[in-house]
Amino acid sequence: MSQAGSGIDLPTSVGYLLKQASSALRTAMDEALRPLGMTITHYSCLELLAQRPGLSNSELARGAFVTRQSMNVLLQALERAGEVTRPDVAPSGRVLPVTLTDRGRRTLAQASAAVRAVELRMLAGLSDREQQEARRILAGLVDALAAPAPTTG
Amino acid sequence: MSQAGSGIDLPTSVGYLLKQASSALRTAMDEALRPLGMTITHYSCLELLAQRPGLSNSELARGAFVTRQSMNVLLQALERAGEVTRPDVAPSGRVLPVTLTDRGRRTLAQASAAVRAVELRMLAGLSDREQQEARRILAGLVDALAAPAPTTG
DNA sequence: TGACTCATGTCAGAAGTCTGACATACCGTC
DNA sequence: GACGGTATGTCAGACTTCTGACATGAGTCA
């Protein structure tokens, strides 16, 4: 009977549990990636590029859930480090397609293994059916939040 | 058949979906709280204090999923703003119990309503049974990640 | 053709959070 | 009583990300 109507009961709030799970995953991934000298955004960028070569800065930003400004800062560092490449001039419009280099692929291979271990650990207690249910529910939450707020739209 | 074994297939990864949902929630909450001039951590801190008065800086940090250093920075600002109070000397040990002021409670009331609307929107498409399932699965993920990594422990 | 809208890449500044470090206080055991 | 381990509050510095702003290029429509 706590917080009757006025607030949000944290321990049972789906939003709070979502943040808690996300925070735990973030911590675990950070710990797995730290020995490799990588951040989560760094890894996400490389993984995105491996699966969809030629993605633009803005597309990478959306895929990694950061702003395109933040992704641009990262891409400049990755270019200097020789993990990705961007053409000097845009082939079309303003979009600069980003490509993984061999060095980038090698870096990703290590990171991907580390992250894979974390994901497997996270899913250890869930049956295949529960994993499917998790995907379905999480996708549902994303869809529901994608709709604009009543007051805004 | 993408990423056969070597990496993680993002679109079907529970971890990626979790981050996506968390990011969507974060964005929605940011937008809801911005008109009130509050951040998510600010709101989280106040909500935590409303439900469990006398929480310490470190306990608030854990509850809001930030470091105790970050929470301390926030608490100093909230003290200046007159939303919370801390005694000058610790009643016991080094722990300084934090308490909500009337001003803090009023601020929280507005924020809580805004956040509540976001949570309701997020859960709009889920039945009561699905919400229970969501809580159970998310709690399971947290527990699984709480166990130390095999290589570490 | 011209105007309007939208998306992109980029720069600059500010805000939030983090890591590292230190001193202090409790609790267990010896 | 003395010790080591643990947890706390705090300071300092650096990093990452964000918001705000601008110019460029594509697409749409009159």
Whether A8 and B116 lie within 8 Å, measured CB to CB: yes
Q: For helices B40-51 and B14-33, what crossing angle results, to 10°?
A: 90
The domain of B75 spans 34-146
Whether B51 and A9 lie within 8 Å, measured CB to CB: yes
Give a yes or no: residue A3 inside a domain. no
Q: Looking at residue A120, which CATH number applies to its domain?
A: 1.10.10.10
B residues 66..105 contacting A (CB < 8 A): none
Give a yes or no: residue B124 inside a domain. yes
* Dihedral, CA of residue A40, residue A46, residue A52 and residue A54, to nearest 10: 120
DSSP A1: -
Whether the CB-CB separation of B98 and B83 falls below 8 Å is answered with no
Residue B36 sits at the chain A interface (C-beta within 8 Å)? no
Is residue B3 scored above 80 in pLDDT? no
Give a yes or no: residue B153 inside a domain. no
The CA distance from B110 to A31, in Å, is: 37
Give a yes or no: residue B77 inside a domain. yes
Q: Quick one: pLDDT at residue A149?
A: 67
Residue A73 CB in 7 A reach of strand D: yes
Whether A21 and B145 lie within 8 Å, measured CB to CB: yes
pLDDT tens-digit profile, chain A (153 residues): 444 456 788 889 999 999 999 999 999 999 999 999 999 999 999 999 999 999 999 999 999 999 999 999 999 999 999 999 999 988 888 999 999 999 999 999 999 999 999 999 999 989 999 999 999 999 999 999 987 666 543
Q: Which residue has the tokens 């919400």?
A: B131
Neighbour count for residue B20 (Cβ, 10 Å): 21
Beta-bridged to residue B99, according to DSSP, are: B85
Q: Nearest C-alpha of chain A: how many angstroms from B2?
A: 8
Q: Which residues lie closer than 8 Å to B62 by C-beta, 6 or more apart?
A: none
Give a yes or no: residue B14 inside a domain. no
Q: Quick one: pLDDT at residue B9?
A: 87
Protein-covered nucleotides on strand D (Cβ within 7 A): 7-13, 16-21, 23-26
| Nearest nucleotide to A65, CA against C1' atoms | D17
Give a yes or no: residue A5 inside a domain. no
Q: Quick one: pLDDT at residue A90?
A: 87
Model pLDDT for residues B92-106, shown as the tens digit of each residue: 889 999 999 999 999
Model pLDDT for residues B15-63, shown as the tens digit of each residue: 999 999 999 999 999 999 999 999 999 999 999 999 999 999 999 999 9
Interface contacts (A, B; CB < 8 Å)? 197
- Among A137, A151, A152, the residue with its CB nearest the CB of B137 is A137
Give a yes or no: residue B16 inside a domain. no
Residue A34 sits at the chain B interface (C-beta within 8 Å)? no
Look at residues B115, B120, B121 and name the one whose alpha carbon lies nearest to residue B33.
B115
Model pLDDT for residues B111-148, shown as the tens digit of each residue: 999 999 999 999 998 999 999 999 999 999 999 998 76
Q: Which residue has the tokens 């990011």?
A: B23
Give a yes or no: residue B13 inside a domain. no
What is the count of structural domains for chain B? Answer: 1
The CA distance from A44 to A53, in Å, is: 13
